Structure 1
Amino acid sequence: MKRIKKLAAAMLTAIMMMTMTVTAYAAGNCTLTVNVKSGEGVPTQTLKDQTINLYKLFDVTTSTSGETTNYAYTVNDTYKDTLAEALGIANTSTNDQFVKAVSGLKTETKDEVQKFANDFTAEALKKSLTATTNSGKLGNVNSYEFTGLDAGYYLVYVTGGKEIQSSLVTVDGTTNTVNLKTEAPSIEKKADKDTVEIGQVVKYTVTGSIPDTTGYDSYVYKIHDTLSNGLDFVNGEQGTIVTGNAVNVKVAFTETGITDGGTAPTEATLDTANKRIMNLDLSEWVRANQENNKGKAFTVTYYAKVNKDAEVTNNNKASLEYGNNPSDTTTTTPSEAKTNTYPLDILKKNAKNKRHHQQVWVDINQIV
């Protein structure tokens, strides 16, 4: 039977179970399946390049008496000091005091239990505590199964989320499952027009949100955009030609009344060898907005002009590069701006110099 229990509820049960007859589970014989966040309104998620960390907060020991097995719950010494900080008790507290502190959390509201879990995770990250076990860097999957776990009470944390959002789960002899509550950083790119023609300027908007970088000494957050040969970056809606290796951008929070914790960049860098590749480094700006703006949505706007070389291709996409290790970052699946086709009247001359119009269809899905 699948069971997911919040740690606080589990501790209440634990106190009672110390004197109850239960079924024993073999040590190192438990499994836990971790699934990505999913559901209506949630972008397609995977665990690509992510690492799942498990912290066993409480050990479980058993003793038998005849046909009965009794369970006892003991705080894991590895995390005792950090647990004490998260619970607001002395690190010299007894095991019973730790159990009481957790069981005393208000389970009728999610906030206090979630705050405890997130506070522990933040401290664990700051102190670079080693997880009990981890998945290693994952491939393009949407779930991962841990096997060979000892029975216990675990905190589940996945690196690099939009915000710290740890899950608490009971792991025993049954098959256990936990569904992640947070999403990985992502961006979405959109064009301001459904149809375009050669010579027209398109405004692009990339939407992202400030990720939680708690516990990281450094954090990379870069947006990369590559245009097709049929588009050129320009400055502003008037289509001013770009000179040099920089293009104007505007970075702003989507909500009104938000105070920017830093100074947002006003220019993105163009690749010296290919002026259709744009790179915008928001790493410092993201870190500057950690105190009050974690999770807040923001937009990056910039412009491109459809040129006479518009061709059938499909590579106008923006991707996000992020991670706490500059030499080992994650790059998201590119977000593509979608638009429709449009009939253009292009003036041509025939062999006898007679002028006529030819209607040409340009598929902006493919040139942008």
Structure 2
Amino acid sequence: MHEQVDGGFGAWYRRHRWWTDPVGMALLAIVMAALGFRGIWGPFSILPEPFSPWWSLVLALPACALALAKRRMPTTVLVLVTLLFVIDLLTVGGLGTLVVLLDVLWTAAFLAGPHGRRVLLGLLGASTILLFLAAWLFTDVRFPVAFLIGVQFGAIFGTDYWWAVAVSQAHELAELHRQRAEEAAAVAERDRVEAVQRERETMARELHDVVAGHVMAMAIRAEAALSMEPDRTTDRDALRAVRDAGLDAHGALRSMISVLRRGNGSLTPTPRWSDLAGIVQEAERTGLRIRFTAGELPDLGAGPEQAVVRIVREALTNCIRHASGAEVDITIEGDGAGVRVGVHSRGGVASAAAAHGDEGWGLQLLRERVGALGGEFSAGRVADGWSVEGRIPVEVRA
């Protein structure tokens, strides 16, 4: 409860200090006058005889009133309060105007920019020297006393100035750190969003490349079996193919779920050159007539090799879906600085499962993969059917 009260009073004071500080200084000046403080700047006074300390309020209270506008007009208020302080210095010598001047100087130094602070520092130095010379040359004090007066003046006002500049720079440093923290948070949030997007894109690729392909193969084999006369042998072959595709899809899904839960590993086994034979055989079992030709190829590396296999697999999947029973030519050959892969189909008819296709996502994902490797990709209709082609650069290894 005590901490809450302190916090509440502190917040209230910060909101209202623009008027509580001047009021407090005015009360201080009244108390000092009541206690008889006057003539503290005796050597500079031009008044001929003793006077009442209450006369100090004639200068102190207007200075306190000017302090109400110190944050709105710091330079103007500083000049006017300085003038009142000089008059006080030459007359009653009270403490009220000194306290107000210190407060107004602190505010002006705190709010000033680098140039304004240099000007204030120069004026403080000049004022210190001027006060020392005035005490030495125009009063009856000796040189050591005049020097001490100058040192005291410089120490009091110099400390006030240094404190204001230190607090202002601390606030500026805190604001700079806050801005940098906000910028770092914005960058982190942007990186997080980009990471999430990349993860979603990876998931989309894996779901399309593995799971969607297996599920579509199940639908096509089931459709083929349903379109034929019942036959125990062919029906069991179709069921076996549907079972195998379902198990493959189930295994891929379990692998993806495991990776997502643990946060490491590969979502699905990456396709390799050795998988091509099985991909071609699976496509032939669906009724495609395939001629496969592969020339001498350099060491492709993991990325280009996977891209070649994915192009062949996606092209054959589209043939199964949209050109069942077609003739398909697959050609893979090196061309010096890269590898070319082409899949051309002729004839065939679309299956009923094609109506539930992926609307070209597979080809778009292939185009992105090949583009990321610096290659070229094209797919579209040709005079006698459909063509999918890709060229992937290969880094020559010594």
TM-score interval, smaller chain: under 0.3
| TM-score, with length taken from structure 1 | 0.19
| TM-score, with length taken from structure 2 | 0.18
* Higher share of residues assigned strand: 1
* Higher share of residues assigned helix: 2
